[in-house]
Structure 1
């Protein structure tokens, strides 16, 4: 207890992935508490990232080109001001990571190697260890965090509720294996990642199922664009969960998608295999739905050099009995990234006083309806700096309390996962979404272990039902056309519960 009292008043960062680590580092030398339910990086999607970070540093590139590519991928829903700020800050973010010890891939002249990914007009993907960028990022940043005396790492504590007094954050209720503890703080940063664990087919750690969104929702925060989930078109098709990712960079090197007959079935798609992720994922999904199998064929473009260029992916393939130098790789779409999240301003502030969000859990306006490949890691690094400056400039008003409110049950996403997987996939329709909302409402309103995951899923389902168009990663079979008016969606948990009870969704999900 004395240790907890000593930490009172310090900013609390929830999450041990890239966004959380960087925010803690950027706050130094101010003392901070970094809460992680697992050992640092243990359940972080960041560690699984393969492609890298997008930054306009090539001689033929510019932030303006990066901006244009991001806006095009975002399909009308990006906040152009936010996009411009982030792409202009991206090159310095790469330098900052290198200062922190990240060993990026370089050529014989020590110049950063740049990869190409879908919907990028230039080679601008900075990567490490071939396709193991996330692993290298986490290695370097975990080491840097552990070496910072100002950062108190508290592992094995899972945040269960945000404490709110007088409409402002007052602390974090957390649990370890022995009981509950309150970390008193008027400044909390949520950096908990995405919602992939709510889907049966996902490339994310199964422990990432929207816990940060649930924390913010129960505290009364507003959310934006929750209906937009990006499905990666080339996850290694097999029984393993989470599914192994076959990076877009493989297609950037010339790999093509074929079916069991050897036909390149997406050759006529704009951009072909390097079209936007949503278009490629839908193409693969529809081909699978017609009874075909789908493979990524890198034999001609990479052949025996595959293992040298992509050692991690080659290892995944060999574990599955596949030699990518000689065999096409079986693939299928899988939930990969959540464009929606806690609605934040340009400093990462949520609508709840004292609460910030950073990384995948936040919705900054960068990604719009469809994230441009490798923009997310860049966003996390850039936003971490802005969030840290905002937190540091905010006066601490916390006071220690010994009163422990009751903690909710340990969350269990299995019930929500069944519903989400069947109704919020690559292709959606109104009837399935209404059925999902009806099934989720009593669970989200209850006190069972399924309540928090169901609350997140309910907000996603209602936002998807309210968007009666197909835009970016959100595709409605009953509304296949893109609306002439581009409008972001906004919602709160209370509004979602009311909407589900009345089946009157449109005013909530379509509010400006």
Structure 2
């Protein structure tokens, strides 16, 4: 049923929707195991709410800092496992090469580090047989997008290297505030139009709610 809801818009491959639906249950359980506290009823069931294109109530939340809390427990697990991390680094280009079968494969990435201790350009190269682009949605990939600006994704890196993307019609746009303000977001909402959310004071002046 969850897979059917994910693919109901007509622009998502059903096999992808099925994998996402099945994997989401294990992922949620994993986050709970790592210490993410989600709201529960008296029987221990996770409280749910309905979101767009959803008849089953597949969403949950632990407040406006849900994304931050998810990152927190995942980071703590990365540190516990002593997995190496690069901080203050931004991937600017994917590397690829032909393997022994003549197929073009990813080979790593070029990063802008901002540090010039190892070279005067502040660049680094990480070689890897696989690269996972896990930085969220399309960001400013499109001409018209939700605000605030300067919220970037990583799909452009893939497009630049000639990768074929699918299910773009079902891109998940998140609405969020800049990091300089209280971290409020609607990261779980499928926004199919460009929204304008504002408030009006007693004098009739409009204020952009997300500015």
Give the TM-score normalised by the residue count of structure 1. Answer: 0.32
| Alignment partners' CA distance in 1, 2:125 and 2:176 | 42
Alpha-carbon shift at residue 121 of structure 1 (Å): 1.4
- CA drift at 1:153: 0.6
Q: Deviations over 1:69-101 (max 9, x none)?
A: 2232x2x22212222232233322221111122
CA change 1:331–1:122 in 2 (3 A) is farther
Aligned to 2:62: 128
Query: Which has the greater radius of gyration?
Result: 1
Query: Which residue of the partner structure matches residue 113 of structure 1?
Result: 47
Partner of 1:475: none
CA deviation profile, 1:356-400 (whole Å, cap 9, x unmatched): xxxxxxxxxxxxxxxxxxxxxxxxxxxxxxxxxxxxxxxxxxxxx
Cross-structure match for 2:4: 68
User: Aligned pair in 2 of structure 1 residues 87, 332: CA closer, same or farther (>3 Å)?
Assistant: same
Assess if the C-alpha contact under 8 Å between 1:236 and 1:331 holds in 2: no
Is residue 168 of structure 1 aligned with residue 96 of structure 2?
no
Cα distance in 2 for partners of 1:193, 1:127 equals 18
- Rate the CA distance shift 1:173–1:107 in 2: closer, same or farther, 3 A: same
Which of 33, 36, 40 is the equivalent residue of 1:102?
36
Residues 133/164 of structure 1: CA separation in 2 closer, same or farther (3 Å cut): same
- Say which of 72, 85, 88 aligns to 1:156: 88
**Residues 203 and 243 of structure 1 are in contact (CA less than 8 Å); yes or no, is this contact kept in structure 2?**
no
Alpha-carbon distance between aligned partners in 2 of 1:203 and 1:242, rounded to the nearest angstrom? 15
State whether residues 4 and 17 of structure 2, in contact with CA within 8 Å, keep that contact through their aligned partners in structure 1. Answer: no
* Among candidates 8, 13, 23, match of residue 89 of structure 1: 23
In structure 1, how many angstroms separate the alpha carbons of the residues matched to 2:65 and 2:19? 27
User: Mapping of 1:261-340 within 5 angstroms?
Assistant: 277-278=191-192, 281=193
Higher relative contact order (CA 8 A, sep 6+): 1
Equivalents in 2 of 1:195, 1:236: separation in Å?
14
3-state SS, counterpart of residue 164 of structure 1: strand
Of the three residues 108, 113, 133, the one matched with 1:190 is 133
- Give the superposition deviation at 1:138: 1.2
- For 1:206, the equivalent position in structure 2 comes to 150
Following the alignment from structure 1 to structure 2, what is the Cα–Cα distance between the partners of residues 119 and 90?
17
d(CA) in 2 for partners of 1:142, 1:165: 31
| CA distance in 2 between partners of 1:191 and 1:113 (Å) | 26
Q: Once the two structures are superposed, what CA deviation does each residue of 1:321-343 show, in whole Å capped at 9, x if it has no partner?
A: 8xxxxxxx97789xxxxxxxxxx
How far did 1:156 drift? 1.8
Counterparts in 2 of 1:10-49, with a 5 A limit?
none
Report if the CA contact (8 A) 1:202-1:241 is conserved: no
CA contact (8 A) 1:162 1:169 kept: yes
Query: Residue 135 of structure 2: SS of its match in structure 1?
Result: coil
CA RMSD of aligned residues (A): 4.1
Q: CA 1:104–1:231 in 2, change beyond 3 Å: closer, same or farther? A: closer
Cα drift, residue 104 of structure 1: 1.0
Who is 2:160 aligned against? 218
Q: Quick one: distance in 1 between partners of 2:111 and 2:86? A: 11
> Partner of 2:101 in structure 1?
none
State how far apart, in whole Å, the 2-side matches of 1:175 and 1:92 are.
34
Name the counterpart of 2:119. Answer: none
Q: In 2, Cα distance between the equivalents of 1:156 and 1:123?
A: 37
Count of residue correspondences? 193
SS in 2 for 1:188: coil
